[in-house]
Structure formats: C-alpha cells, structure tokens
Structure 1
C-alpha cells in the first residue's frame, strides 16, 4: 500500500478554508484530516513524551485504515553515542504508542545533521530497535541527514535489521535511495507557493516514482517542510494521482 500524508494536523494557516473549513472546530481537525489523507507523521513525539490517553484518542478519532508514523524522541538520536540510547528508546516504546494498535505505522528515528556514520555505533543503535512491543509489530526507519550514511555499508547494516533508510526528496539533505526494508519511507520537503505545492508535472513525477516503489512493498510518503501551508494540497494531489494503485 502507498500511504500519503503530512506532518501533524495543527497549523494555523491550514484554517480558514485553506485546508480546514471555516466552521470546523479545532478539536475535529484530526478527524477531518484523516478522511482526506491516508497517514500523518507525528512530530510532537520527537520533542517530548505524549500521554497514553493521547495515543488512544488519536486512534479513536481516525478511520480504521488510517496509519500514524511517529518520530522517535530526540533524546535517543541527538547524542554523541547512539549505542547509549537504550533507556530513551525503551521509555518511548513504553509511553503508550501501542495504544494506536494497527494504526501504528513506522517509527522515524531522525538523526542530527551533524551525526556522521560510525559502523560500530550505528550497528549498536539498530540493535536497540525491537521488531515488536506489547505484541504490536514495529517498523523502524532511520532518517540520516549526513552524506556519510550514503554508503553500501550503512545500507547493509539497515538491511540486516529490516530498517528503512528515509529518502529525503527535493531537500537540502542527502537523498539516500537504498532499499533496505520491506517498506519505504519518503519525505518530500520542497513545496512551493503554487496552489498544489508543485507544478502538475512535478506531482506527476513524484506520483510515478511512488507507484514504482509501491510495486516492491509498502510506501509511506509525507509532504513536509517547504511552503507548509501548501502541504495538504500537495498530499491530496498525490493521493488523487495514485487512486488507481491497489
């Protein structure tokens, strides 16, 4: 399956008719967004713990086939030695994320831009990422933002653990197009002030790329950054172009 969405659902410029209708209460924004997109990446988990009740609420407010991606906490990834992140990883997994049940999608472990590849340290970090928790299968993705990770050595370590390397598209970050898991995780980061965030030809190109990737496994694609006010429109335009994909 191909899942397409945005980062979060609370953003003032999306209100007033830009994405959310004028008369939509803010408490219903997630419900509204989840019926027009097929996934959302939650960034709040990167900055701090969320309450178990919040994960349950998000589960209950969204359609049965909706999926959330969660950013792993910065306390685990913004450190000199990734191998020492075990306690932070464990706390995150125990914070209530499995309340999402089948709606729990991949966990994105975003590394700092300055974090360089160290084989031993990176391998130790990947070993901290379990395949399940509380009986819920887990999918992990690592968003490496330094060129030193664009190597077959780094890809091989991820492949051995079934961990995806996030592919940054239209971005200042290195585009690592390595297939290392049974799913892909893409972040499209350069929307413009056009009505749908991109020219039609660009959207066609992203959609064609996604369609090809979707033949080899699940794909999670998030329209992030750029002209954020246009991101929902870009995501919906991609969903429309891919509506024929099974």
Structure 2
C-alpha cells in the first residue's frame, strides 16, 4: 500500500524552543521529540557539510521504528560543481554514513540553485550516475578519497534508493525535462515557494516529493485551512495513483499508471515557527 509521510525540513531551530518544543526540553532531545510528532524529517545538515557515520547512527537510534529520513544532498555537488565532474563528490557523500540509516533511509533530495539552467546533456550524465539501490550506492562509496576519515561503505542489505530533484529556474519548465526524469525514475519536487520559483506538479516517479516553503511569504507564511485542504485533495489523488484535476503541469503526457504512490511532504516555512504546526494539521486532515 502507498504510504503517506508528512514532516518537517530540519529540526534544530532556536525560535522553535518553547513554542513547538517544550520549554524545558534539552536541545539534544529535539530529534527524539520531533520524530514522535512526525513520521519523517529532512536532514538539512548534509547539504552544508558532509556528516559522518556516528551522526547518522545516532539519528537512527534516536528515532522510532517506522520513521524515515530524507537526506539533502551536498551543495558541493549541486551548487559548487553544478552536477559536473561529480564522481568523487558522489563517492564521498555516499561514504559519509548515509548507509547507517538502513531501513530509515528515504529519498535523497537534490536541490539545484536558482541560477542553474536546464542542460539536458549534463542532467543525463548526472542521472546515469545515481544508484537506485543500497548495494550499488555502497559500491560507489568505496571510491571515496582521504577527506572521508570515517567511511561506511557496506549496506546491511539491498534496499531501494529514491531520488528527487528540486529546480529553481524557469528553463526547467519543459516537457523534455519531465520525460528525462521519468526515464530515470527521479521525482520532480513539488515546491511551493510563494511564486518565487517554478511551481510544477508533474508526476515523474513511483512517489511524490513535496516541499512547502510557504505560499504567501517564502519560508515564513503559514498555510490556511483552505490551502491545506487543497493539498489534501492533491495528496489523496497522488497516493491513489491518480492526478489532481487542477494540477499545474508542463507536460501533456500522463505518467505511468500505478495503483498508488508514496508521498513525502516536508514543511519548510520555519522562520516563524509555522512548519511543525502546519505539518501536524495536514497529517491530521489526511488521517
């Protein structure tokens, strides 16, 4: 059966203390607390710097059974190298400890910078390098260099690895890109960014990945009941293997039919402590 996961992007935010987190909750227990409120969380620290197996193992241990992390890929690959000549960067990232998450290892999020224009050839090369199971990922990880002091390059068992891509340039609003994502089984992130960057709801994979950054003010505004009800309708259609009738799409070609699709939805409107409460409301509405 399709699974619906609603959560937050990151969990360590000073303004959340005493508002979402209890006043007397030690900072070291924030993930433990948040992972009992939601069934998924995006790991953001991996975007800014490579983590290590100890961190990933601790996060695994602190979260309950059935919980799943999404892992945001390093900006070193997406923003500095801009997906070009990234063989070493991929090996280092995969060796940094992500395999310690085991069954809690959810999708990998690849977020591109706003200045990154669509380049079919570069994307094709990049997508062809992405592993779609943990054993292949471990094989790539074994090519890590000396910058990885502590490496984890062995999978506990063969598991599927999912990938999602968030784009922020209007050049990606084209059917060629959508077809390319579908060929490689990569999900196009449904990103609500208060109109700042492209908003697309084309289904391109066996799952749907959503990032809700705020519909009126980026990273700040909360979602009204009407807005959350709209997301409920869309999520319900996607998880049943269908599509919302009012979805915003750039491709006229329908996706492959499925009995259902898993949903990963993360609220990133964190600056005014809206994210955890909006995530909770949406989860309650979806049952």
TMscore range, shorter length: over 0.9
Judged with a 3 Å threshold, the aligned counterparts in structure 2 of structure 1 residues 79 and 23 are, in CA distance, closer, same or farther, namely: closer
Taking structure 2 as the reference length, the TM-score comes to 0.80
The aligned length equals 240
| 8 Å contact kept, 1:191–1:226 | no
Residue of structure 2 equivalent to 1:203:
228
Matched, 1:51 2:52: yes
| 8 Å contact kept, 1:191–1:225 | no
SS across alignment from 2:274: helix
Q: What is the rounded CA distance, in whole Å, between the counterparts of 1:170 and 1:121 in structure 2?
A: 25
Q: What is the rounded CA distance, in whole Å, between the counterparts of 1:104 and 1:141 in structure 2?
A: 14
Residue of structure 2 equivalent to 1:215:
240
- In the TM superposition, 1:55-94 aligns within 5 A as 55-79=56-80, 82-94=83-95
Residue of structure 1 equivalent to 2:192:
169
Deviations 1:85-137 (A, max 9, x none): 12111111111101001101100011110100111111111111111223332
SS across alignment from 1:185: strand
Residue of structure 2 equivalent to 1:19:
20
Q: What is the rounded CA distance, in whole Å, between the counterparts of 1:97 and 1:75 in structure 2?
A: 16
Give the root-mean-square deviation of aligned CA atoms.
1.7
Residue of structure 2 equivalent to 1:180:
204
Q: What is the rounded CA distance, in whole Å, between the counterparts of 2:191 and 2:274 in structure 1?
A: 18
Unaligned runs of 5+ in 1: none
Unaligned runs of 5+ in 2: 138-154, 242-260
SS across alignment from 2:273: helix
Q: Which has more strand, going by share of residues?
A: 1
Residue of structure 2 equivalent to 1:9:
11
Give 1:79 shift.
Answer: 4.0
Give 1:221 shift.
Answer: 0.6
Taking structure 1 as the reference length, the TM-score comes to 0.92
Which is further off, 7-16 or 131-140? 131-140
| 8 Å contact kept, 1:105–1:138 | yes
- In the TM superposition, 1:97-246 aligns within 5 A as 97-132=98-133, 133=137, 134=155, 135-171=158-194, 172-190=196-214, 197-216=222-241, 217-225=261-269, 227-243=271-287
